[in-house]
Amino acid sequence: MDSALSVDAQIKKLEDKINSAKLPKELLEKISSMIAILNISLKAGTGSFVNYESIENYIDWITALPFEIETADIMDLSKVKVTLDKNHYGLETVKNTILEYLSSLILAMKTNTEVRAPILCLVGLVGTGKTTLAYSIAEAMGRKFERIPFGGMGDSLSLRGQSRSFSDAEPGQIIKKLAHAKSRNCVILLDEIDRVNEAARADIMGVLIELLDTEQNRAFTDHYIDYPFDLSHVLFVATANNTTSLSTAVLDRLEIIQMPSYSDEEKKIIGKDYILPKIIEVSGLGVGNIAIAESIWPLIIRPLGYDSGIRSLERTLETIVRRVARLIVEGKLDSNGQMIINGENIREFTAI
């Protein structure tokens, strides 16, 4: 609390903040009552900085939540297909399943029908494009994208938050992501839901059921916020490496999409047409600064043997680009020149 301001000024500051926000009537009444009690205690000398700071932090969180704010959806399936094709090579079966799923959502939104479709869950090995597919869905629909990593999560409070009765309490990841997105219809990726800490698995699966069940998530209550938030507008997408550790109740609420492994030929096309151009763009190099001979693509694709995904391919191409960038910065290669990576010099640019 700013000691330079009077109690009346401090209280007015809080009141102005809640009155300028679009809060549900019941929540507005609740926080107004809390402010009134704080005002009385401060003037009586029984209140403290801790009380004020606690309520101020609470107000900051609830006024950041998008109770009524959402982005306009793109309801053009052809644009969705263009986005998926732009970001992902192949995966036709996966893309078709996503397009069919989004078609039902689009029809439901156009007719104001309640959506009861199961949650998409992309299942596959590391590096098969699960996370980027989820991002592409958000991009295609014109929605904000948020990600919650489940790998190693050891407490269901990470999702549901902690009661304000604890001094270091804060909201859970769901509320945090909604506040950051500033949109109640954002896409939230529940990433690697099979990799939670074993000791907390049952509790976390219980919260997942509530998140993914359309009958329950309309009134999701975070322990810190202590007021129900309607999650039915959120589009949840989940990923997992496998489904063996997921509870039956969670699986019942998921539509499993199996991600295939990439063939060497597919990886070559992905590397040349998708990954390398993006890496060059963010590195500051020009497209013409690097040329990779056809004969060494098999080495780049399989530097350490078979890999179902494209992570190692991406890392290898990043290494090549960085080392060419260094040559340019050190003046060993003209900024308009071209470095041809071939069998003779490949070891200078990678760890192959």
Question: Which residue reads 């309607």 in tokens?
Answer: 230
pLDDT at 87: 85
Residue at token pair 């306009």 = 72
Mean pLDDT of the chain: 88
Q: What angle do CA 143, 144, 145 make, to 5 degrees?
A: 115
In the predicted structure, residue 306 carries a pLDDT above the cut 70: no
Strands 290-292 and 339-341: parallel
Strands (E) located in the chain: 119-123, 145-149, 187-191, 220-221, 228-229, 235-240, 254-258, 290-292, 339-341
Give residue 307's pLDDT band: very low, low, confident or very high (50, 70, 90).
low
Rounded mean pLDDT of 201-219? 90
Structure confidence at residue 47 as a pLDDT band (50, 70, 90):
low
| Model confidence at 240: pLDDT above 90 | yes
3-class SS letters over 236-257? EEEEECCCCCCCHHHHCCEEEE
What is the rounded average pLDDT of the residues 165-182?
Answer: 94
CATH superfamily entry for domain 77-258: P-loop containing nucleotide triphosphate hydrolases (3.40.50.300)
pLDDT value of residue 89: 86
Domain positions in the chain: 7-64, 77-258, 264-349
Strand order in the sheet with 145-149: 145-149, 187-191, 235-240, 119-123, 254-258
Output the CATH code of domain 264-349: 1.10.8.60
Half-sphere exposure of 214 (CA within 13 A, CB side): 13
Q: Please indicate whether residue 69 or residue 3 has the higher confidence score (pLDDT).
A: 69
Mean pLDDT of 1-24: 81
Q: For residues 177 and 93, what is the distance between their CA atoms, to the nearest angstrom?
A: 30
* Residue-level pLDDT at 118: 77
Cross-strand bridge partners of residue 189: 147, 237
In this prediction, what percent of the chain has a pLDDT beyond 70? 94
CA 175 from chain centre, in angstroms, equals 13
**CA 34 – CA 48 distance, rounded (Å):** 14
Mean per-residue pLDDT for 286-315? 80
3-state DSSP call for residue 315? helix
pLDDT surpasses 90 at 31? yes
pLDDT band at 228, cuts 50/70/90?
Answer: very high
The pLDDT value given to residue 49:
63
Q: Lowest-confidence range among 2-6, 142-146, 317-321? A: 2-6
Q: Is the full-model pTM beyond 0.85?
A: no
Q: Which pLDDT does position 303 carry in this prediction?
A: 63
pLDDT score at 4: 44
**Bigger pLDDT: 105 or 1?**
105
Give me the DSSP letters along 85-109: HHH-SS-HHHHHHHHHHHHHHHHHH
